[in-house]
């Protein structure tokens, strides 16, 4: 999630990868199918109702992850652990997770049978509890289907016939990686010097923001001078399912023109990431609909020919460490003389964060993004509380 002003967290809900778990299993009971499912937006995440044994649960739609169910569901259904493996999250943090198989999950009118899924204790994760989810619909569940996300109608469509979702543009080929069938799509760039570059990025519907570039891709592109380096700083930006990443050098880049499918995007700000993959996030859905055709390895972005973004460069990026809101990265050089990564944010415009429910703080960004300036009180590493006014 890119920060335009204070308190928009960069948060890729999962983006989990495993090399030693086989997710390429399970099937859909229906032969010729088309399902239309209304979804909720909770803190800007796509939350889909699913039924298991007749009981309705809320699952996050996240094509950057495999299927996941909560520990609570695992225990309610009296399921059996069938394997375990090392999982890498959006910050390349490795942890071991258990795997089970759900006999049946129903989404709309569709019955997904014998689905392998990871087990995770969402209830014990303060940040995830704000999204009120019981699990994640991952890319492996959809690997034989076509998914369309229609933001204006707030619906998703799942079918095995692409004609049912009526694409309004020509497709871009995608690659499905691993047994998880993670969808990767080409993103094109044109610099002020008219040089061109292409990156291959994960389509990650669990990620806020437009596009993050892996350091691996950045190191490859750096000599071409296609991207303008707007800022460079030490700090922590994203939050994966296993928490915040480690302190590292981060860069904020600007692309003259970014091309996604058949749409040109102007003024895109790009943050580099330690993750193995670059990734495409949910913010593109503010401008059009997305179709991921897993069956035929195509993707469609139904938007206008050109999107012009606001040219707002963030001065800092907050994040969450140990359930505290802290400064993740300070991009502005003058601001960096006063505050640094790890400083705890105490209050914003006299709203004391410690007095607010944790989940309410996540919504502060909506209230503050249109303000020309805000006042922030923060505690630095010397345990001093200081106040600073940050202008847009």
* Burial class for 237, CB neighbours closer than 10 Å (0-12, 13-18, 19+): buried
CATH class as words, domain 174-308: mainly beta
Locus of tokens 């969402």: 122
- Domain 317-391: which CATH number of 3.40.50.300, 3.50.90.10, 2.60.40.420, 2.30.42.10: 2.30.42.10
**pTM (2 d.p.):** 0.90
Fold adopted by 27-163: Cathepsin D, subunit A; domain 1 (2.40.70)
**What's the pLDDT score for residue 359?**
81
**Domain spans of the chain?**
27-163, 174-308, 317-391
For the chain, which residues score pLDDT lower than 50? Answer: 1-15
Distance CA 382, CA 379 (A): 8
Q: Which of 231, 269, 226 is nearest to 250 (CA)?
A: 231
Distance CA 29, CA 114 (A): 10
Q: ∠ CA 18-131-214 to the nearest 5 degrees?
A: 40
Give 4's DSSP letter.
Answer: S
Pairing state between β 135-137 and 55-61? parallel
* Burial class for 264, CB neighbours closer than 10 Å (0-12, 13-18, 19+): middle
Residue 228 and residue 252 in contact, taking contact as beta carbons nearer than 8 Å: no
Task: Tell me how far the alpha carbon of residue 84 is from its chain's centroid.
Answer: 24
**What's the pLDDT score for residue 291?**
98
Distance CA 30, CA 110 (A): 7
Comparing 27-163 with 317-391, is the CATH topology the same? no
Q: Which residues is 268 bridged to in the sheet? A: 255
Handedness of CA 227, 390, 91, 357 (dihedral sign): negative
Task: Tell me how far the alpha carbon of residue 20 is from its chain's centroid.
Answer: 23
**What's the pLDDT score for residue 90?**
59
> E strands along 178-275, which residues?
182-190, 196-203, 211-214, 228-235, 239-240, 243-244, 248-260, 263-273
Q: Which of 258, 201, 209 is nearest to 238 (CA)?
A: 209
**What's the pLDDT score for residue 362?**
74
Give 354's DSSP letter.
Answer: G
Give the chain's length: 392
3-state secondary structure of 30: coil
Distance CA 178, CA 180 (A): 5
**What's the pLDDT score for residue 239?**
66
DSSP structure string for 58-106: EEEE-TTS--EEEHHHHHHTT--EEEEEEEE-TT--EEEEEEEEEEEEE
């Amino acid at each position: 999630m890119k920060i335009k002003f204070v308190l928009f967290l960069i948060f890729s809900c999962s983006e989990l990868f495993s090399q030693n778990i086989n997710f390429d299993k399970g099937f859909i009971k229906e032969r010729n199918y088309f399902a239309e499912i209304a979804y909720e937006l909770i803190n800007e995440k796509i939350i889909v109702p699913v039924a298991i044994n007749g009981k309705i649960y809320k699952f996050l739609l996240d094509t950057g992850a495999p299927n996941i169910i909560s520990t609570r569901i695992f225990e309610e259904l009296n399921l059996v652990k069938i394997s375990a493996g090392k999982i890498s999250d959006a910050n390349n943090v490795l942890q071991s997770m258990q795997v089970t198989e759900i006999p049946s999950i129903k989404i709309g009118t569709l019955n997904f049978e014998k689905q392998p899924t990871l087990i995770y204790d969402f209830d014990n994760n303060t940040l995830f509890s704000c999204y009120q989810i019981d699990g994640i619909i991952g890319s492996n569940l959809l690997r034989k289907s076509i998914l369309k996300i229609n933001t204006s109608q707030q619906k998703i469509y799942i079918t095995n016939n692409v004609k049912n979702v009526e694409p309004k543009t020509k497709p871009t080929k995608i690659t499905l990686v691993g047994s998880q069938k993670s969808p990767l799509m080409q993103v094109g760039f044109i610099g002020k010097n008219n040089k061109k570059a292409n990156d291959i990025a994960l389509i990650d519907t669990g990620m806020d923001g437009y596009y993050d570039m892996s350091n691996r891709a950045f190191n490859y592109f750096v000599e071409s001078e296609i991207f303008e380096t707007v800022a460079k700083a030490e700090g922590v930006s994203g939050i994966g399912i296993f928490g915040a990443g480690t302190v590292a050098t981060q860069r904020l880049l600007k692309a003259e023109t970014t091309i996604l499918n058949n749409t040109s995007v102007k003024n895109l700000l790009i943050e580099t990431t330690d993750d193995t993959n670059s990734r495409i996030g949910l913010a593109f859905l503010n401008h059009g609909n997305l179709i991921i055709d897993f069956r035929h390895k195509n993707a469609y972005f139904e938007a206008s020919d050109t999107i012009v973004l606001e040219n707002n460069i963030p001065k800092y990026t907050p994040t969450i460490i140990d359930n505290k809101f802290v400064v993740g990265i300070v991009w502005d050089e003058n601001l960096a003389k006063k505050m640094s990564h790890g400083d705890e944010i105490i209050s914003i415009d006299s709203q004391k964060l410690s007095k607010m429910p944790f989940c309410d703080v996540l919504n502060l960004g909506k209230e503050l993004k249109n303000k020309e300036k805000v006042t922030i009180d923060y505690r630095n590493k010397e345990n001093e509380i200081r106040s600073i006014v940050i202008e847009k």
